[in-house]
Chains A and B, each alone.
Chain A
């Protein structure tokens, strides 16, 4: 008789019993209130003063640069520093040349490093002029300067962006995308990226205005790399933001191109394309499924080893998102070799990479015991223990989750391996962290490990081990913790595993000198 299978089946019944397995996965679905500074290593929501690749000479972007006539499409206009009043006068004049001069002066003011006068320009009422210049196909210089000025304004706060949009810039920019002049088209790409980056609302307005087909049509084998970089960035902003997510149809439209971009070698394109994927996969399993279906997972796993941090980070984030999905989705990442890459990332010098890697691991550890086995076989326990011991606090927190998730889904043998790898000792040391949630999660893991020990009949051995490791002292101390749940969890562990069992019962009513033995006369038929 196949005894072994029977046992396995039984064990699978035990897995996560009493718990909702979906909750084990620490997903980033809701946008959380943050106390910290915004993430430093994520890509920019909006950009100003970016290199515009289509300009032949990059120095052209310097606000002090005065281009020479004939060298390109931009005619020479001598600009000294005009005052706002002069700019207003110029822009409002009927003379194209003055308009161009005013516009360019405005653009330069708006490009200055410190405190560009965004509000002053808006208050001067110049936006409607700029927007109207956008449609002047016969005045490419003016068109370009206006586009640049508006781009810079749109790179400001939400209020600034709002001004640009409300002056009708969106349709004008979208038509500019098809400008035969590459640098003008690229300026439009950039402006639209800033608008999309403002948030879900403008992003969706752009999508409704059919920005996506207009953008995608500019991708061709001949498109210069620099242009593609900007375009990828704008696409990534169109994928960005939740509540709500971008419409599925838009996602479907963009994905094939993103996949294509991901196979290029330029690091900036790769970085933004990865960010785009990371936004798209940062959602429920249906969103993840759309990404997984494109077959991009192996490439993303490959990019996790990219030498550029800017690529590695979003690739890791994307895979992290994917392994927070269903077991099947997680399996695609495992099949693509994520478990071979993670150990290296877990020992990466950047703590942010360690943290993200530990987070991804914690989600894989929340899977079924078959995936846990793969995790163990690929040698993930030693780096996990390394992080528990040496990681910074945020990394340790993720690593603790990995341990707890693992202990709630693993077979007894797997739990034994985990304990032998030193994880128990490491999490016990972490019982002194100043974070109630982490402590609770550790206590949960200890409880799970006890449940495994119970099946092996090694409860006493485990109790002694925990005591030796200083865990008993720590858990006893946690009985004084101010957090009710921590106190309760610690108390339960002490009661259950470290003290002689108490007995309890429940009240049943009775009176007299003895109980009355009787059963009711009338009764329904028994049916079990």
Chain B
């Protein structure tokens, strides 16, 4: 650790004695010599001298908590930014200089020399430099995990079905999913007879995908899970979750037959209506009166409207 004290540079000032040790010094606002100041004050007190840094060796990225992975070379400014962000209490001090100290790459240690300044004891500005060591820990980032995992490693699956002959809605959904990037956590996709299966590593990813589907299409959801293994000593249970999502089989410009009771419930529509638009609500158009009525997913599936093409 080195320390300097920024003194008043007037040469004619008299020499006084340091109030603690008696060494002759020029007057400064704390009236103590540098060594006594150093003994009294440690600016790096709150900052951990050793810290952990997470690195994925498969893609060469460092973790910026909580979730971002960033590519950075050794001794680059991106790496310095990551290291400084890891030191939370550094924001309270005034950082003057930061530089890397060379370490052997295989040692998996990154050393950073930081110089900070702070005002202590009235108006004395103290500058101190110290070294912080970051221990690089290896961890596979989630994207690499996904790439490495085979599809059989899935924990949750969303089975998307639409029981119609044409694939219009599915194609449209495909475009929507690509546009909103809802497929980023998907482990794999398999095509089935009436739709698609989306496999995920975590249940939470599957739920996120499902909520996306609920917001763009009229779906009915059924959940089930089955036990894969359980550890009776620790009470740990491993499940595989299956979410079955069925899209309403309606499409634009379809003709729909409404039973009279249902037509009355929907606000006095006639028994034959046209489907004007499908989003996550179904817009029905009464051809006789020109009335429009929207039906949401819950109402649709509850009433069990069938199609009459």
A binds B: no
Residues of B within 8 A of A (CB): none
Chain A residues engaging chain B, CB cutoff 8 angstroms = none
